[in-house]
């Protein structure tokens, strides 16, 4: 039904609150980069209007640092839309500081705790190969 796939990978050694925080932030990255993934606003039977949600499923995976770095490398090679979250971002308090600590990372070995990917199904599947669905 969908030509593209949206997936988020979180590191398997994070506390539950960190995993949820990372997934929430990374979801917004995909929504901003690809507004076409957003569905229409929800309206209930009383006519109350609600916000939009993703219009397609989003799969959540987990893996270790090496697995996230591999998904990142393959995602870059395949030209996927990527939204990263690195460990140092847990210590910041706002977007500008997040971008500063991200810029300070070595692009060849990002200390990733989460990564959102969007693109053609087969390319996303290649990047996620070997990672398990979050359990």
Supply the pLDDT for residue 50.
98
In CATH terms, the fold of domain 4-133 is Bit1 (3.40.1490)
- What pTM was computed for the model? 0.93
* C-alpha closest to that of 58 among 14, 124, 131, 127: 124
Distance CA 90, CA 48 (A): 36
Supply the pLDDT for residue 135.
81
Distance CA 122, CA 28 (A): 23
Distance CA 81, CA 23 (A): 16
Alpha helices for 34-117 (secondary structure H): 65-77, 95-103
| Structural Rg of the chain based on CA atoms | 15
Supply the pLDDT for residue 2.
86
Distance CA 103, CA 80 (A): 20
* Run means of pLDDT, 10 residues per run, the chain, 135 residues: 93 96 96 92 98 94 98 98 97 95 96 98 97 91
């Amino acid at each position: 039904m969908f030509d593209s796939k949206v997936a988020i990978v979180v590191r398997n050694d994070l506390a539950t609150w960190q995993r949820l925080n990372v997934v929430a932030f990374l979801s917004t990255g995909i929504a901003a980069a690809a507004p076409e993934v957003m569905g229409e606003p929800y309206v209930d039977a009383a006519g109350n209007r609600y916000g939009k949600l993703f219009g397609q499923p989003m799969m959540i995976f987990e893996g270790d640092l090496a697995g996230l770095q591999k998904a990142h490398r393959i995602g870059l090679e395949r030209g996927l839309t990527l939204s990263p979250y690195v460990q140092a971002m847990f210590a910041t308090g706002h977007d500008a500081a997040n971008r500063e600590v991200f810029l300070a990372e070595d692009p060849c070995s990002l200390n990733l705790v989460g990564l959102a990917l969007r693109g053609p199904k087969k390319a996303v599947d290649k990047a996620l190969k070997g990672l398990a669905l979050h359990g």
